[in-house]
Amino acid sequence: MKRSGFLKASLLVAAFTTVAQTAFCAGTVTGTINAGMAKYKKGAVVYLKGGHGKIRPKTTIIEQRNLEFTPHVIAIPVGSTVSFVNRDNVNHDIFSDDTSKPLDINNSKIGEFKKEVFDKAGVVNLRCTIHAEMSGYIVVVDSNHYAITGNDGKFSIRNVPPGRYEVEAWSEKLKKTEKKTVTVKNGRTSDVLITMEK
């Protein structure tokens, strides 16, 4: 009995140590988009280049709802799958002539999901040729570490392994004006100010 109790206690200590090490073996990168016009700060994609971790694809959904692509901007790692679905009572299509992912999808059937894999990094501008006012963006990044800014231009990228990274940013309306790098340390938060201009 004593030996069994000792083994259980040892296993619990080992499990706690593993969890503790995992919790403190990554850092966080926070920051703000510094731009002249506040309305352009929202919806910028910020991502970190560098590190040696394997890219982890994800799955997500973009809806065509109320004559809009929703969400208007998404960021996904290379190899991710996007399901497009029409939620309107009108016909839609999905078109893009961007070289990283040309698209020409008939999405007229309401509620039907059309899946596409995005296997090249780049920005894909989505359009509906039936409704010219509709537009959206898929930003495909060669990274596991990315975020989209809120209304205030702020972002937070969590669980970043320690190391030195290049900070990249994309915006529908703005361009990054300077090179930025950030050093991530165990259990620490690093803050970055990214200047972008029209």
Largest CA distance in the chain: 75
- Give me the pLDDT at residue 1, please: 44
Residue 137 has pLDDT above 80, yes or no: yes
- Count CB-CB contacts under 10 A for residue 111: 7
pLDDT tens column, 182-195: 999 999 999 999 99
Range in 6-15, 83-92, 106-115 the model is least confident about: 6-15
Residue 166 has pLDDT above 60, yes or no: yes
Question: Shortest CA distance to 84 belongs to which of 76, 93, 75?
Answer: 93
* pTM as predicted: 0.86
- Give me the pLDDT at residue 25, please: 78
- Give me the pLDDT at residue 96, please: 98
Q: Judging by DSSP bridges, how do beta strands 80-86 and 93-96 pair with one another?
A: unpaired
Going from N- to C-terminal start, the domains of the chain cover 27-53+144-198, 56-142
- Count CB-CB contacts under 10 A for residue 178: 8
Rounded to whole angstroms, what are the CA distances from 148 to 52, 57, 67, 112, 113?
22, 17, 22, 27, 25
- Given CATH 2.30.30.110, say whether it is the number of domain 56-142: no
CA torsion through residues 168, 43, 198, 36, sign: negative
Residue 5 has pLDDT above 70, yes or no: no
pLDDT tens column, 18-77: 443 444 579 999 999 998 788 899 999 999 999 778 999 999 999 999 999 999 999 999
Residue 117 has pLDDT above 70, yes or no: yes
pLDDT tens column, 150-161: 999 999 999 999
Residue 54 tokens, joined:
């394997």
Cα of 184 vs its chain's centroid, Å:
19
The yes-or-no answer to whether 27-53+144-198 and 56-142 have a common fold is: yes
CATH fold label, 27-53+144-198: Immunoglobulin-like (2.60.40)
